[in-house]
Amino acid sequence: MMPPKLLISILLLLGISSQLAKAQDDSLSRDMLQLKVEDMYSQFNNSLLNQQVTIASKKIENLFDAPFSASVLTREDIRRAGCTSIVEAFRLIPGLMVAEQSNGNYDMHLRGGSNVIRNTLFSVSANTSTLVMIDNRPIYNYYLGGTFWETIPIDLNDVERIELVRGPTSAMYGPNAVSGVVNIVTRQVEDQGVYAVANVQQGINQTFINNASLGYRLNKKWNVIASGNFQQRHRTQTSYYNYQRNEYVELSQFPQAVLDDIGNAYPNPERAMQKYGANAFVNFQPNAGTKFSLAMGYQDSEVQKAYSENNASPLTTALSRSHYIDLRGNIRKFTAQFSYQAGTQEEGVGNLGQKWDFITTDGVLEYDINFKNISIKPGLNFRQAIYDDTPYVDVALKTGQFNGRRQITTFAPYLRGDYSLLEDKLRLITALRLDIFNFPDQPYLSYQLAANYKLGLNNLLRLSYSRANGSANIIYTYADRYLPNFRGLPFDLEVSGNQNLKLVTTDLWELGYRSRMSNNLQLEVETWYAQTQNFANFLLGDAFTRVVGGINRTIVPFQTLNIPLKTQQIGITLAMSYATKNFQLRPYLTYQNTTLFNSSESNTVADLQKGIGTKTQHTGTPTWFGGFILNYQAKPFNFNLNPYFFSEYQFFSLQNPTYADGRGRGTIPAKLLINAKISYNPMSSMALFVNIRNALNNQSIEFYNTDPVSLMFLGGLNFDF
């Protein structure tokens, strides 16, 4: 089998050479390409206010008419802005709070909602409520929920657009779309013949970002694409924040007892990320009503991020290697999709029990029923996640996290309805889904109800109510670990899961307004009120004694339990789009205010009751965040400015109760990032560029005691033919 790195290099060379050859051999082709690019820019400007979206209602429609709070980010948006990764591109979408932990590694939350459970594990405070998909294939991580961004096998060269719905969407896309859903739509070969894309950029901190795609459309029926990507990024420093010393120090200055405890947790202290992926896409469309798509790929990654606790420093090393296959088919009114992903992950290198194998499968079957102005879409969905740590731990001594081959399954029938009346001025949308899990044994009903009303052709009011739930995960359900003399203390820690947890659930009311104020200007306002409950967390119980190996041992239980915490959030997002032939401006701003009810500062069963009846202003999410995109084209140059900012917020770590001096509580200062890209097109299919991220060199941290984020200066070239 060809090594993935070699495959990526070959794709890069083929993509560049094919475009150079075509550009040099045929001046007429160059003229036609130039005309095509000009048409593309014109089309982009005209369609900026009339983008198409499918994620909001599972059908192609104008974004202006979408029934829920939705956004679309196109490949041209991403390319012009100079985004260096898919996750960084989320900063261009209204309503997303994105913080960088180390070079290229991010924490993302939709409408905020971060760190609502105080003084807990990094993995618990991570975003577990947003469902992320690639071409409708869920890439959710069932270990503890959320998305491991570094394990995404595709890169920016593969992206056609990113679609997002803000707000509970489980009724249409299944559990875990509690705060919203993101769908990354991949590119396809549009014109007959060769398709090639190559992007190469290099920057400071040993940052190398290279990706390429090579495709071919044989005829109207067949097209194929092969793609590869490689990223290498160094950290902005080699020191780590040390809890005990309350400062950033080199690893050699860590207490020896800590180093002995965490083992080889940092095999490459200078490395923030090294990852590569390879993908193949095959599309077959024998006629207008039938289409089959096959995608497959592989990824290998090593990153340093804040996820796994090691009692030494927030950053830990994570390794992942996985492959996937995804088959989709549309036959007239039937739609079917089956996906499979498998691999090995190690989320805390140096921590015993942090490695496992996994297999996830997802199957969907839908049927469209249309009658006049009524559309009904029934469907069935089956999901399964299998995690197995037995090859890497001593099951008898319970040195793993769950010590076995564990399984999460979901089966769900669902129904979506869409009804237009009053000469299409009023549109009513409803979606219902019943999820049946292996754990818990209680079924969960999620639903969405929405009404759109058009005030003429250029104004639209929308009102919706939604309920969504999460799913069980492996750790909360199956945790089973025994730690004798935990961290040198005179007791043993016994960790256990809970198969009867209530699933986190969100109810949301949302009111939105869209207006085409002119041919060039569009305004959108969305306000919401959300309530979330049924949070879960690991809690320390009362110590007891038990005979172990003939000796009386003091045991402290650490069990997953539902906690009485409830949250209420109100918020508003404003977004505007203004476009002329050569100029685009899109500002966006989000305000959110979250209140915590029954919040406890201690993660112990005994102290949990002390929080009941309390009402606390949540400070773990920025109150304000947003930015704008400004693009100006003066051929052959293109100038793009895309600032991003967030207000001050606090992080309450697991270490907070340990230290009375507050070192476990971090204040992340307000930050403004100025990002800019200047491109020069010497020929229609080639661009040379300078890319500046964080131009003000504001080196303040964006996440609790992780790496300071410094100026990133990159240069590179892009081919797109």
Looking at residue 141, which CATH number applies to its domain?
A: 2.40.170.20
The letter for the amino acid at 340 is Y
Confidence check: pLDDT of 260 > 90:
no
The letter for the amino acid at 84 is T
- The per-residue pLDDT for 610 is 86
- The per-residue pLDDT for 7 is 44
Domain range spanning residue 320? Answer: 4-720
The 3-class SS string of 693-714 reads ECCCCCCCCCCCCCCCCCCEEE
What whole-number distance in Å separates Cα of residue 368 and Cα of residue 509? 28
Phi, psi of 65 (to 5 degrees): -95, 0
- The per-residue pLDDT for 49 is 57
CA torsion 131→132→136→138, rounded to 10°? -80
pLDDT, tens digit (0-9, with 9 covering 90-100), for 560-614: 999 999 999 999 999 999 999 999 999 999 999 999 999 988 888 888 888 899 9
pLDDT, tens digit (0-9, with 9 covering 90-100), for 385-431: 999 999 999 999 999 999 999 999 999 999 999 999 999 999 999 99
Strands 180-186 and 130-134: parallel
Determine if the peptide bond prior to 636 is cis (ω within 30°).
Answer: yes
Nearest to 376 by CA among 432, 337, 452: 432
Locus of tokens 């661009």: 687
Angle at 704 between CA 609 and CA 566, to 5 degrees: 30
Look up residue 187 and give its DSSP letter. Answer: P
pLDDT, tens digit (0-9, with 9 covering 90-100), for 538-570: 999 999 999 988 889 999 999 999 999 999 999
Between 63 and 25, the higher pLDDT residue: 63
Q: Give residue 8's pLDDT band: very low, low, confident or very high (50, 70, 90).
A: very low
**Quick check: 467 and 528 in contact, CB under 8 A?**
no
Confidence check: pLDDT of 44 > 70:
no
Nearest to 159 by CA among 93, 67, 234, 66: 93
Q: Find all residues with CB under 8 Å of 671, minimum gap 6, and list them.
A: 645, 646, 698, 700, 702
What whole-number distance in Å separates Cα of residue 351 and Cα of residue 141? 20
pTM (2 decimals)?
0.93
Tell me the CA end-to-end span of the chain in Å, nearest whole number. Answer: 28
Side-chain half-sphere CA neighbours of 360 within 13 A: 21
Confidence check: pLDDT of 701 > 70:
yes
What whole-number distance in Å separates Cα of residue 493 and Cα of residue 540? 9
pLDDT, tens digit (0-9, with 9 covering 90-100), for 93-140: 999 999 999 999 999 999 988 899 999 999 999 999 999 999 999 999
Q: Find all residues with CB under 8 Å of 420, minimum gap 6, and list them.
A: 373, 426, 427, 428
Confidence check: pLDDT of 195 > 70:
yes
What DSSP letter does each residue of 340-397 carry, written as one string?
A: EEEEEEESSTTSTT-EEEEEEEEEEEEE-EEETTEEEEEEEEEEEEEEE-GGGS-TTT
Tokens of 119: 């003084």
Torsion sign, CA atoms 298, 301, 307, 308: positive
Least confident of 113-122, 432-441, 641-650: 113-122
Count of structural domains, the chain: 1
Average pLDDT rounded to a whole number, residues 45-73: 83
Side-chain half-sphere CA neighbours of 677 within 13 A: 28
CA torsion 639→94→174→333, rounded to 10°? -60
Side-chain half-sphere CA neighbours of 610 within 13 A: 8
CA 439 to chain centre: 25
Q: How many residues are given for the chain?
A: 721
- The per-residue pLDDT for 45 is 43
Q: Find all residues with CB under 8 Å of 554, minimum gap 6, and list them.
A: 490, 491, 492, 543, 544, 545
Q: Give residue 331's pLDDT band: very low, low, confident or very high (50, 70, 90).
A: very high
What whole-number distance in Å separates Cα of residue 128 and Cα of residue 29? 49
- The per-residue pLDDT for 603 is 83
Average pLDDT rounded to a whole number, residues 61-68: 91
Tokens of 221: 């029926």
Confidence check: pLDDT of 38 > 80:
no
- The per-residue pLDDT for 477 is 97
Instruction: Report the DSSP beta bridge partners of residue 369.
Output: 376
- The per-residue pLDDT for 426 is 97
What whole-number distance in Å separates Cα of residue 151 and Cα of residue 12? 21
Between 323 and 189, the higher pLDDT residue: 323
- The per-residue pLDDT for 14 is 41
The 3-class SS string of 461-509 reads EEEEEEEEECCCCHHHHHCEEEECCHHHCCCEEEEECCCCCCCCEEEEE
Angle at 547 between CA 544 and CA 549, to 5 degrees: 140
Tokens of 294: 């096959």
SS3 452: strand
Confidence check: pLDDT of 17 > 90:
no
Q: Find all residues with CB under 8 Å of 325, minimum gap 6, and list them.
A: 294, 295, 296, 339, 340, 341
* 257: alpha, beta or left? (left if phi > 0; alpha if psi -120 to 50): alpha
Determine if the peptide bond prior to 153 is cis (ω within 30°).
Answer: no
- The per-residue pLDDT for 48 is 55
Side-chain half-sphere CA neighbours of 340 within 13 A: 4
Count other C-beta atoms under 10 Å from residue 250's C-beta. Answer: 12
**Quick check: 389 and 356 in contact, CB under 8 A?**
yes
- The per-residue pLDDT for 1 is 41
Mean confidence (pLDDT) of the chain: 91
pLDDT, tens digit (0-9, with 9 covering 90-100), for 486-508: 877 899 999 999 999 999 999 99
H-only helix segments in 48-105: 75-81, 86-89
What whole-number distance in Å separates Cα of residue 347 and Cα of residue 309? 10
What whole-number distance in Å separates Cα of residue 67 and Cα of residue 511? 11
Q: Give residue 677's pLDDT band: very low, low, confident or very high (50, 70, 90).
A: very high
Nearest to 129 by CA among 200, 57, 180, 76: 180
- CB neighbour class for 50 (10 Å; exposed up to 12, middle 13-18, buried from 19): exposed
Provide the percentage of residues in the chain whose pLDDT is more than 90.
Answer: 80
State the helix-helix crossing angle for 4-25 and 27-47, rounded to 10 degrees: 110
Provide the percentage of residues in the chain whose pLDDT is more than 70.
Answer: 93
